[in-house]
Structure 1
Amino acid sequence: MQSTTGRTAPVGWGERIMAAITRDPGSAPHALRNDALLALTGAVIATALALFTDGGSTRPDVLDQGGRPNALGWALLLGAYVPIVWRRRRPMPVLVAVVALVVPYHALDYNHNAPTPAAYIALYTVAVTGRPLRTIATGVVVLGIALSVMLTVSMHQAVELLRISGWIAAVLFFGIDVRFYRQYVSAIVERAERAERTREEEARRRVAEERLRVARDLHDLLAHTITLVGVQTAVAAHVLAADPDRLDRAAVARSLDDIAETCRTARGELRTTLEVLREGQGAGEGRGPLPGLAGLPDLAATARASGAEVELEVRADEVPPAVGAAAYRIVQEALTNAVRHGGRKDLTVRVLLYGGEGALRVEVTDDGVTDDGVGEHGDAPADCGFGLVGMRERARSVGGTLDAGPGENGGFTVSAVFPLPVNRKGEEAR
């Protein structure tokens, strides 16, 4: 959370402590510096314990000094805190080094309280970074070594060590609990990151699908509109240039009216597409009614206005909106290709849609000229094949298939099959 001034809100001590507990020791920032401070703090505490407590020592020379160790004792005591600086990098070697310095310190019967912080820190580090079985075995070994040393000093110190051995077990099990807690938090964070990556991938996939859908819609809309406008403009130009003295004003007016109507229809569809993009909604949301089989007569009428003879036959009941939209767009693209690449003034296009046996079948055939392989109608690279690719993608989007190519008797044929859902009675869904 950020304040109104734009600065990051301060982090409390509780949050810092929890972050330190849950953080992986190997990846903690400033680890060496923090461990050096920890070692220094432990040495200061040990010095205070050695100076102001007797520590249970039984040696007369030590008791005469008020419980304080001599020069050798100070060297062993303070030296035990030096390895703590590297406790995160080498937990087990640090524990061995601490034990190697603390054991002779205790054997010489100096203040037994002073080296305790170093031993606890080393044991905790091994517990929090190692496997539980190894941690327990290490604790047993360390306790056994300490007990053996204390037995050589005095029976009283050995019994005292057994009495406080519960603290050693508490330190070890606390380290094990912290390790398990870190693993638990790490697993939660990993699952959250995995879920976030999944959401991001899903969002990218939806964006890609939406871009592909918009590309198909724009291609179908603009290609169809531009083709029809071009044909209708050519008709008007031909009428104007054919016989200027006997100008057929009615034919020119019809051509211009057809151009205006085509532009209005295209403008409406384009506005719908742009509204979806501006609102940032996903596919199928807020798009208004999808085009369907009911719009096929208008497509046929528009193609007829361009000079083609269109025979439309629909023998299918209501189909799911997605299937109807795919069929509509495929028929639209097929009519556009026929008008654009048919190559004949008396072009005839037959459009047949019929349902049965759990499927909707669409067939669009024309008797145009295709032996020159020009453009998209012959799947040549002149138009990069976007029309045929778009039709196949639309068919696959609803689980259908599409075939396109030259017909047996010339011309071009587009054939698509769309599966339809079946209700409980085994009839086609209506």
Structure 2
Amino acid sequence: MQATTPTTPPPPSRPRVGERIMTAINRDPSTAPHADRNDTVLAAVLFTAAACIALFTDDGRRPDALGWALLLAGHAPLARRRRRPMLNFCLVAAPIAAFHALDHNHSAPVPATMVALYTIATTGTVRRTLATGGTVIGLGLVMNALTNPEGMIELLRITGWVVAVLFCGIDVRYYRQYVASIVERAERAERTREEEARRRVAEERLRVARDLHDLLAHSITLIGVQTSVAAHVLTADPQRLDRAAVAKALDDIAETCRSARGELRTTLEVLRAQDAPDARGALPDLHGLPDLAEAARLAGASVHLSVRADDVPPAVGAAAYRIVQEALTNAVRHAGPEPSVHVEVCAERGALRLSVTDDGTGPDPAGNPGFGLVGMRERARSVGGTLDAGPRSGGTGFEVTAVLPAPAQSLPTTTTTTITAERAG
């Protein structure tokens, strides 16, 4: 068996020279990496070029010791040219102006001067760039008129180079701003997409949390009450055990478990549907309210149900269903034994109004707060409605009222159902 040696991934290919040049042009000079090192190398290269020009060209006399010192002093500030470019230009211009005044080689310091002007043009405002260029050209004209009146043609040529360098720097500056604005818009769009994705995930998690709370809290509460009924029947009078009542209580528990399992399975199927991420499954509606009332009856409540609405939007119908479901669950849990609950749902003036009232004591203020009331308010807000919940004005019982926007109904249907708890035993 031959041993296999792990293969190392190929090294990333280096960008081409043209790509590196465009990257350097597009990048903000104040944020360029290794700026000081690169500028130091640039200053050394420019000084070497100036020395060669001073030694091997005949454009003024060859520099003496003072001239070399001035030439070096005019190139040294370029090593920090990106830090305060205007001050840097002044430090470059002062020794170079003295270098020209002493009639040393006039071509030698020109590249350094152009680099300093280009730095101002690419980092400063247009007004400051033009003011600097005008000052340089004006001082050049004055000095040339005093020291070399015959060299006006050469001065005009240098002036043209100055103007060209300044406008090139301005153009590069605007181009960098344009590229930066494109990058900023792309980053802003990406952040917007990420925030939208996070918002959708948060909304979906909240929706799933509400669905699971409404389903499990309602079913577990009914099972708990039905189990208590069965236990009471078994222990109330062992000598006269009502087997039919016990069997009915256990059948009710089994039916509640089957219903909860079916709803939970539907919820999980929606969550697992990868091909249809926006699928919400079949939404409950107002037609399921009688089943909720029947489930509350199995838990021992007397429910009076009145529905006067038809053809409401699916989202509004689902919100109303879940609000009534949670309100009945709270009534069965907190209103005491055999509570009387009134549920009214009606559509009028473009709104669906519902109320759930009971005659019990309501939730214990000292108990642990749950998510039921919060979930009901979120359900109402999700369709643009409002919900109020609290003790009734008379001091007895608890009331939940909600107003959900819905189209006005021309022919509302009326369904009135009274479901009373059957006493066991």
Give the TM-score band, short-chain normalised.
0.7 to 0.9
Structure 2 unaligned residues grouped into runs of 5+: 1-7, 414-425
Pick aligned residue for 2:315 from 322, 325, 332: 322
State whether residues 308 and 339 of structure 1, in contact with CA within 8 Å, keep that contact through their aligned partners in structure 2.
yes
Greater mean deviation of Cα atoms: 247-256 or 162-171: 247-256
The Cα shift of 1:119 comes to 0.7
Letter of the 1:302 counterpart: A
Structure 1 residue aligned with 2:181: 187
The Cα shift of 1:8 comes to 4.7
Runs of 4+ in 1 over 4 A off after TM superposition: 6-9, 275-282, 426-430
Looking at structure 2, the residues matched to 304 and 404 of structure 1 have their Cα atoms a distance apart, in angstroms, of 22
The Cα shift of 1:166 comes to 1.4
The Cα shift of 1:331 comes to 0.7
Aligned ranges 1:64-83 → 2 under 5 Å:
68-83=62-77
Structure 2 residue aligned with 1:34: 38
CA RMSD of aligned residues (A): 2.7
Looking at structure 1, the residues matched to 411 and 155 of structure 2 have their Cα atoms a distance apart, in angstroms, of 85
- SS where residue 82 of structure 1 aligns? helix
State whether residues 386 and 404 of structure 2, in contact with CA within 8 Å, keep that contact through their aligned partners in structure 1.
yes
Q: Deviations over 1:103-123 (max 9, x none)?
A: 232233332221111110011
Pick aligned residue for 1:394 from 367, 372, 379: 379
- Paired residues in the alignment total 405
State whether residues 226 and 252 of structure 2, in contact with CA within 8 Å, keep that contact through their aligned partners in structure 1.
yes
Letter of the 1:48 counterpart: C
Structure 1 unaligned residues grouped into runs of 5+: 63-67
Q: Deviations over 1:200-233 (max 9, x none)?
A: 4333433333333233222211211111001111
Distance 1:149 1:219, change over 3 A: same
Structure 2 residue aligned with 1:166: 160
Structure 1 residue aligned with 2:85: 91
The Cα shift of 1:6 comes to 8.1
Letter of the 2:133 counterpart: G
The Cα shift of 1:85 comes to 1.0
Q: Deviations over 1:272-307 (max 9, x none)?
A: 43445556899x822201111111121112111222
- SS where residue 253 of structure 1 aligns? helix
Distance 1:7 1:270, change over 3 A: farther
Structure 1 residue aligned with 2:225: 231
Aligned ranges 1:10-409 → 2 under 5 Å:
10-55=14-59, 57=60, 62=61, 68-277=62-271, 285-345=278-338, 347-368=339-360, 370=361, 374-375=363-364, 380-407=365-392
Structure 2 residue aligned with 1:65: none
State whether residues 326 and 395 of structure 1, in contact with CA within 8 Å, keep that contact through their aligned partners in structure 2.
yes
State whether residues 421 and 429 of structure 1, in contact with CA within 8 Å, keep that contact through their aligned partners in structure 2.
no
Greater mean deviation of Cα atoms: 317-326 or 75-84: 75-84
Letter of the 1:366 counterpart: D
- SS where residue 96 of structure 1 aligns? helix
Distance 1:246 1:252, change over 3 A: same
Letter of the 1:364 counterpart: V
- SS where residue 344 of structure 1 aligns? coil
TM-score by length of 2: 0.87
State whether residues 335 and 363 of structure 2, in contact with CA within 8 Å, keep that contact through their aligned partners in structure 1.
no
Distance 1:333 1:9, change over 3 A: farther
Distance 1:338 1:6, change over 3 A: farther
- SS where residue 271 of structure 1 aligns? helix
Letter of the 1:153 counterpart: T
